[in-house]
């Protein structure tokens, strides 16, 4: 097994750049090289940025952004959110994610089918498909390893990366 990667994470207030939370942890192969952070005590109705750094070298994630909800009972004049559903690799490119990433959304919600378990040529059919290149795995998803590969493929989409680096995605 590969060695765990030690990480440091930071959360900054977007307007001032003041650090409001930070910590350390490990990304491990057993968790697909992911690391989850739950940050409590952030100010309501505030914009923040975050970033992960691999300790021991200069590697860093792109800077991401999110906003916390207003405090309970506070009147909100406007709420900007995006709703997404049915993201199937074979039907095309995720241009809507890219467009939404430029709208200054408060958050985005994905209501269903973040990705599909079908193999290539099933849904859509070969004739209907816009793209199959890169589909991983090419067969129907049956195992945890299959689902992890398809999830990783979906997360590599540059439009989805732009959206999720600029607003919280509730899925």
Helices 158-166 and 144-155, packing angle to 10 deg: 80
Summarised one tens digit per residue, pLDDT across range 84-100 is 999 999 888 899 999 99
Calculate ∠ Cα 86-92-96, nearest 5°.
65
pTM confidence score:
0.85
- Band (1; pLDDT cuts 50, 70, 90): low
Counting residues of the chain whose pLDDT is more than 70, the rounded percentage is 99
């Amino acid at each position: 097994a590969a060695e765990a990667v030690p990480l440091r994470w930071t959360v900054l207030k977007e307007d001032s750049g003041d650090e409001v939370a930070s910590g350390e942890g490990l990304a491990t192969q057993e968790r697909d090289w992911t690391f989850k952070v739950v940050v409590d005590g952030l100010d309501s109705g505030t914009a923040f940025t975050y970033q992960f750094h691999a300790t021991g070298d200069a590697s860093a994630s792109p800077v991401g952004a999110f906003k916390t909800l207003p405090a309970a009972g506070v009147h909100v004049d406007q709420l900007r959110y995006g709703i997404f559903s049915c993201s199937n690799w074979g039907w095309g490119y995720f241009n809507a994610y890219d467009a939404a990433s430029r709208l200054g959304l408060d958050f985005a919600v994905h209501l269903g089918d973040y990705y599909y378990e079908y193999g290539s040529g099933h849904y859509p059919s070969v004739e209907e498909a816009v793209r199959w290149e890169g589909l991983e795995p090419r067969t129907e998803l049956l195992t945890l390893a299959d689902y992890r590969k398809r999830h990783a493929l979906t997360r590599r989409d540059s439009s989805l990366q732009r959206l999720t680096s600029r607003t919280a995605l509730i899925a």
